[in-house]
Amino acid sequence: MTESRGARAVLRLATVAVLSFIYLPLVVIGIYAFNESTNQAWPIQGFSLQWFERAFSQSGVADAFLTSLRAGLGATLIALVLGTLASFAVQRYRFFGRDTVSLLVLLPIALPGIVTGMALNAAFRTGGLEFGIWTIMIGHATFCVVIVYNNVIARVRRVSRHLEEASMDLGATQWQTFRHVTFPAIRTALLAGGLLAFALSFDEVIVTTFTTGGGEQTIPIWILQNYTRTTGLPVVNAVALILILVSIIPVWIAQRLAGAESAAAR
Amino acid sequence: MRTLGLGAGVALVVAGLVPGVAAAQDAPEGALTELGAGEGEVNVVAWPGYVEDGSTSPDIDWVTSFEEATGCQVNVTLGATSDEMFTLMQTGNYDVVSASGDASNRLIAAGQVQPINTALIPSYVDVFEGLKNQPHNTVEGVSYGVPHGRGANLLLFNTDVVTPAPDSWSVVWDPASPYAGKVTAYDSPIYIADAAVYLMATNPELGITNPYALDETQFTAAVELLKQQRAIIGRYWGLYTDQIAGFQSGDMVVGTTWQVTANVLKGSDPATPVEAILPKEGSTGWSDTWMLSAQAQNPNCGYLFMNHIISPETNAAATEYFGEAPANSKSCALTTDPNHCDTYHATDEEYFSKVYYWATPQAQCLDGRTDVVCKDYSEWSAAWTEIKG
Amino acid sequence: MTATAIPPSSPTRRLQAWLYRRPRLQLVLLLALPLFALVVMYLGSLALLLLNAFWTLDPFTRELDRTFSLDNFIDILTSNAYRTITLRTIGMAFLVTITCAVIGFPVAYFMARMASPRLRGFLVVAILLPLWASYLVKVFAWRTILQNQGVLNWALEPLGLNGPGYGDVAVWLVFTYLWLPYMILPIFAGLERIPGSLLEASGDLGGRAGMTFRKVILPLAFPAVIAGSIFTFSLTLGDYITPALVSSTQFLGNVVQREVGVSGNVPLAAALASIPILVMIIYLLVARRLGAFEAI
């Protein structure tokens, strides 16, 4: 106990206040999802489920959801591979330019989305690549790599080399060592990183607008398009509420796994 | 240039239906000479409210019948400004666009749209003569599109808040306006022309005759006026849904608008008490043309769509919904409101002489002056960034 | 008991043994793919974009003129508006970062050092969950909250106050809201790593709560704060959607987006984009010096 009583009370209060601040808009979305009218004025006059009906019947939503899923999975997979490779390289070896690799991995997420988007757009056009699900995936992968990289490198630091050396002393090849010793140790870090990367990809809008052709729509693009229509916003609220509720599960799972692992490592 | 699908039989039928038309002979160079089978879809860039397919409200729909009759699925992308539409057309992903005068000439010059063989569009014969072969849709005698309609930018105000009802644009230009912070304006460089229109009435010594032909002095005056206006603007609007939300929530009470916005505000539940008027100084406006992309993937559906959208019934429904004068002369008899055409001065060419259609400013002055150099669109665009601050 | 026999030799075994003796080659193999993706593809695209900045565009026909020219950069440097917009954007980025740090630190501290393990797990989920709610939807929600007849004004009415409405204050508020989790999580991770023994030692040496905080905790947590600031700063620097939705103010992202998406003037947009690139590279180098990279 290194904090005074007063400080503890203030901290508790601050936490409650900040959490309320964070969740207030989400609650507002939830309420507006049931708004009867397209008029967004407050207080709400009447309630209705019509926007949920519309959300399910509109074909655009389902397609956008699928596209978002596919792009997210693809980007996460790429990020998992590249991020793990890079983190092992940086953590386990000393070489010239080690710091620069960290900087490079960080760059796509540090630079504004519009810069990454424009750059990739220019590159795809010059390379003659056709815009579609692949270009979206590549665009997302650039900033997803750093998420996986951070998670894995933090864990790899904690996995002792001795375990791996012992494994090889006992006759295992490097691949066997990786499969049976290293991988189980970093598995949950990969999962946590992968989930966070997927979340980032699912929600990304700016880079996506530059890397999609006319046809493919991810959920955020669909939301932006819908915003231009007079009845668009209420449907968006309904879809958003559904997405928030649905995503509680993966986040909770990820946290349980990551938490359990880091507790075990301590 | 392109003859697609099983054209011959269809072309003969088309030629037979429309008297006095020889399909192949009069086609401008580069245009389709005959119509083939539909490709199954058509990608359209349109102003909001032009291509309603029932998603705003189930009874506002003039697209589904077309889709069922021709098998061409209509995919609409809404454009907020002419600039945006130009950029969308540049991607080559769209077939048809409803271009205003500040986009149409640029599209033609950039080779983004193809000449139109009006013989392949049966509805074209009924279009008002005053809209055909205009500088914004016809270059060197070659037609690049079919007219949709024309209208003016109006002054929208909340009747509960803005009293007495204004009849002049001064209510949005007055630096001491009582509605400061709740004034709105159109977020596009083309809005500089609106400042010029106001100056035509208040500062006649500047000698502005065409708000799109501004020399150094005139342009500076307009920009100064706009910078002054910036102080009383709450938010600019680019998307009409922004303006609708703004008026509904009371963040905006007065500003320039399109008739469709007023119609939506009055028609929603609960309704917002608004009125849209044409102030005494006149206004800017637009005359829109449906154009076909030079890179169109679905030209046949494109032609079929253009024919449908300017056909008497559809043109009546579309222009009545949006609030503009129709292009098709037969539409006037088909509007729900029998006075629609009178209200919107569809046959009144004199009225439209006070409405300054959106046009693209060029260095060669559009009003014919040769002793000065006018500001071109890139300078308007750069000035707009300065104005918004 | 089985004796641990050495497995028989096989091609894969021999290959891996050979590889084991060549750590440099292992390194190259590990780095090949990521570096290819990052250097060739990403940096290559950036270079291509910046190359565009030296070209110009014909405003009427939108044709690209590929002759080398510094016109775009001259335009930007001599224009008052761009200077104002750049300074405004950087200023907002700093303001949002500081606000997030000030608000986020107490929460992260509580989570790391005062909460029970169960509460801690719950709080981490609670902070992470809003990241899954769509960014766009959150901004729309704030738009609705801040509007004239919105929730905020309705709540403040009995107090006789008025909300900020749309404008710069709204932008600051919404940005702070959006990026708060990105600041809280790294600080939380950083504070969690401080061993309790250090704090006890500080107490043993006579330091009271306040001094321990100032002299031990803050310096150790500082790299984590900088790490979090990388996200809040960069995300604010380039964003155009939030300013467009809750204000009419132009930020750097807005002008870039307008030049690309509306005017189609990629050369000018690329020239403008070089500003945030430069700012971020400087920021990253400073952050690295302050130790942030170990704390992300």
Tell me the pLDDT tens digit for each residue of A83-126: 999 998 888 888 888 888 888 888 898 898 889 998 998 888 88
CATH number at residue B316: 3.40.190.10
Whether residues B109 and B189 share a domain: the answer is: no
At residue C59, the pLDDT reads 67
In the numeric block, the tokens 């679905």 are attached to B298
Is-contact B253 B143, C-beta < 8 A? no
> Sorting pLDDT into bands at 50, 70 and 90, what band is C171?
very high
C132 has a pLDDT exceeding 90? no
At residue B50, the pLDDT reads 93
**pLDDT (average), residues B100-108:** 89
Whether residues B280 and B292 share a domain: the answer is: no
User: Which of A58 and B42 is assigned the larger pLDDT?
Assistant: B42
C1 has a pLDDT exceeding 60? no
Whether residues B215 and B84 share a domain: the answer is: no
Chain B positions in Cβ-Cβ contact with residue C81 (cut-off 8 Å): 385-386, 388-389
C22 has a pLDDT exceeding 90? no
Lowest mean pLDDT among A52-61, B3-12, C85-94: B3-12
Is-contact A25 C142, C-beta < 8 A? yes
When divided into structural domains, chain B yields a total of 2
Look at B241 and A37 and tell me if their CB atoms are within 8 Å: no
Q: Is residue A37 part of a domain?
A: no
| Domain boundaries along the sequence of chain C | 64-294
Percent of chain A with pLDDT over 90: 18
Three-state SS string over A51-114 comes to HHHHHHHCHHHHHHHHHHHHHHHHHHHHHHHHHHHHHHHHHHCCCCCHHHHHHHHHHHHHCCHH
B327 has a pLDDT exceeding 90? yes
B68 has a pLDDT exceeding 90? yes
At residue C144, the pLDDT reads 87
CB pairs under 8 A between A and B: 47
Q: Is residue A8 part of a domain?
A: no
B13 has a pLDDT exceeding 70? no
pLDDT digits (tens, 9 = 90+) for C144-162: 899 888 888 888 888 888 8
When divided into structural domains, chain A yields a total of 1
Look at C60 and B376 and tell me if their CB atoms are within 8 Å: yes
At residue B285, the pLDDT reads 92
A62 has a pLDDT exceeding 70? yes
C15 has a pLDDT exceeding 80? yes
Look at C113 and A3 and tell me if their CB atoms are within 8 Å: yes
A152 has a pLDDT exceeding 80? yes
User: Chain A: nearest CA to B249, how far in angstroms?
Assistant: 5
**Residue C161 carries which DSSP code?**
-
Q: Which residues of C touch B (CB under 8 A)?
A: 59-63, 75, 79-82, 84-85, 147-150, 165-166, 247-250, 255, 258, 260-264
Chain C positions in Cβ-Cβ contact with residue B388 (cut-off 8 Å): 81, 248, 250
Q: Is residue A229 part of a domain?
A: yes
B63 has a pLDDT exceeding 80? yes
User: Chain C: nearest CA to A160, how far in angstroms?
Assistant: 18
pTM of the model: 0.85
Whether residues B106 and B191 share a domain: the answer is: no
Q: Is residue A228 part of a domain?
A: yes
Closest partner residue to A229 (CB to CB) among B56, B93, B270 is B56
User: Chain B: nearest CA to C181, how far in angstroms?
Assistant: 29
Whether residues B50 and B183 share a domain: the answer is: no
pLDDT digits (tens, 9 = 90+) for B240-270: 888 998 999 899 999 999 988 998 899 887 8
At residue C237, the pLDDT reads 92
Percent of chain B with pLDDT over 90: 54
CB count in 10 Å sphere of residue C198: 13
A266 has a pLDDT exceeding 50? no
Lowest mean pLDDT among A28-32, B3-7, C37-41, C231-235: B3-7
Closest partner residue to A214 (CB to CB) among B93, B239, B248 is B93
Whether residues B258 and B371 share a domain: the answer is: yes
Whether residues B262 and B220 share a domain: the answer is: yes
pLDDT digits (tens, 9 = 90+) for C181-212: 989 988 988 888 888 888 888 888 887 877 88
Give burial (CB, 10 Å; 0-12/13-18/19+) of A263: exposed
Q: Look up the domain containing A83 and give its range.
A: 63-265
Look at B109 and C247 and tell me if their CB atoms are within 8 Å: no
At residue B233, the pLDDT reads 93
Is-contact C36 C17, C-beta < 8 A? no
B38 has a pLDDT exceeding 50? yes
**pLDDT (average), residues B17-23:** 37
pLDDT digits (tens, 9 = 90+) for C80-120: 899 999 999 999 999 999 999 999 999 999 998 888 888 88
B250 touches chain C (CB under 8 A): yes
Please, which residues bridge with residue B289 across strands? B99, B147
A261 has a pLDDT exceeding 80? no
Whether residues B246 and B384 share a domain: the answer is: yes
**Mean of the per-residue pLDDT values for chain B?**
87
**pLDDT (average), residues C29-41:** 87
User: Which of A227 and A90 is assigned the larger pLDDT?
Assistant: A90
Please, which residues bridge with residue B277 across strands? B155
**pLDDT (average), residues B4-19:** 33
Q: Is residue A9 part of a domain?
A: no
Lowest mean pLDDT among A14-18, A187-191, B318-322: A187-191
- Chains in touch with C (3+ beta-carbon pairs under 8 Å) read A, B
| Amino acid at residue number C18 | W
**pLDDT (average), residues B55-60:** 78
Q: Is residue A43 part of a domain?
A: no
- CA C295/CA A106 separation, integer angstroms: 13
| Amino acid at residue number B39 | E
Whether residues B205 and B77 share a domain: the answer is: no
Cα B336 from chain centroid (whole Å)? 22
Chain C positions in Cβ-Cβ contact with residue A28 (cut-off 8 Å): 141, 144-145, 151
CB count in 10 Å sphere of residue A158: 13
Retrieve residue A257's tokens: 């796994």
> Dihedrals φ, ψ of B376, to 5°?
-95, 175
User: Chain B: nearest CA to A137, how far in angstroms?
Assistant: 20
Whether residues B248 and B173 share a domain: the answer is: yes
At residue B16, the pLDDT reads 33
Closest partner residue to C264 (CB to CB) among B87, B111, B386 is B87
Q: Look up the domain containing B47 and give its range.
A: 7-150+286-353
At residue B43, the pLDDT reads 92
Q: Domain spanning C64-294: which CATH class is it, in words?
A: mainly alpha
Closest partner residue to B264 (CB to CB) among A41, A214, A230 is A230
Of A216, A195, A219, A191, give the one whose Cα is nearest residue A205: A219
At residue A263, the pLDDT reads 53
Chain B positions in Cβ-Cβ contact with residue C171 (cut-off 8 Å): none
| Amino acid at residue number B299 | P
User: Which of B44 and C259 is assigned the larger pLDDT?
Assistant: B44
**pLDDT (average), residues B203-229:** 94
Across A149-163, A239-253, B162-176, B359-373, which has the greatest mean pLDDT? B162-176
Whether residues B257 and B181 share a domain: the answer is: yes
**pLDDT (average), residues B362-370:** 85
- CA B347/CA C222 separation, integer angstroms: 73
Of C50, C56, C51, give the one whose Cα is nearest residue C75: C56
Of B4, B100, B24, give the one whose Cα is nearest residue B297: B4
CATH number at residue A75: 1.10.3720.10
At residue B230, the pLDDT reads 94
> Dihedrals φ, ψ of A251, to 5°?
-65, -45
Chain B positions in Cβ-Cβ contact with residue A228 (cut-off 8 Å): 48, 78, 80, 239, 241
Tell me which of B241, B260, B298 to substitute to probe the interface with A (most A C-beta atoms closer than 10 Å): B241
> Sorting pLDDT into bands at 50, 70 and 90, what band is C295?
low
Retrieve residue B94's tokens: 């769209």
Closest partner residue to C142 (CB to CB) among A2, A25, A110 is A25
Whether residues B57 and B93 share a domain: the answer is: yes
At residue A59, the pLDDT reads 67
B25 has a pLDDT exceeding 70? no
B86 touches chain C (CB under 8 A): yes
A80 has a pLDDT exceeding 50? yes
Lowest mean pLDDT among A21-35, B188-202, B320-334, C56-70: C56-70
B169 has a pLDDT exceeding 80? yes
Please, which residues bridge with residue B183 across strands? B233, B254
Retrieve residue A185's tokens: 């140790």
B80 has a pLDDT exceeding 60? yes
Q: Is residue B245 part of a domain?
A: yes
Q: Is residue B184 part of a domain?
A: yes
User: Chain B: nearest CA to C240, how far in angstroms?
Assistant: 14
C3 has a pLDDT exceeding 70? no
Closest partner residue to C263 (CB to CB) among B83, B233, B250 is B83
Of A174, A145, B9, A170, give the one whose Cα is nearest residue C20: A174
User: Which of B317 and A55 is assigned the larger pLDDT?
Assistant: B317
Closest partner residue to B268 (CB to CB) among A38, A225, A233 is A38
At residue B145, the pLDDT reads 93
User: Which of B162 and A185 is assigned the larger pLDDT?
Assistant: B162
Look at C284 and A107 and tell me if their CB atoms are within 8 Å: yes
Q: Is the dihedral of CA A247, A251, A256, A261 positive or negative?
A: positive
Chain A positions in Cβ-Cβ contact with residue C239 (cut-off 8 Å): 112-113, 206
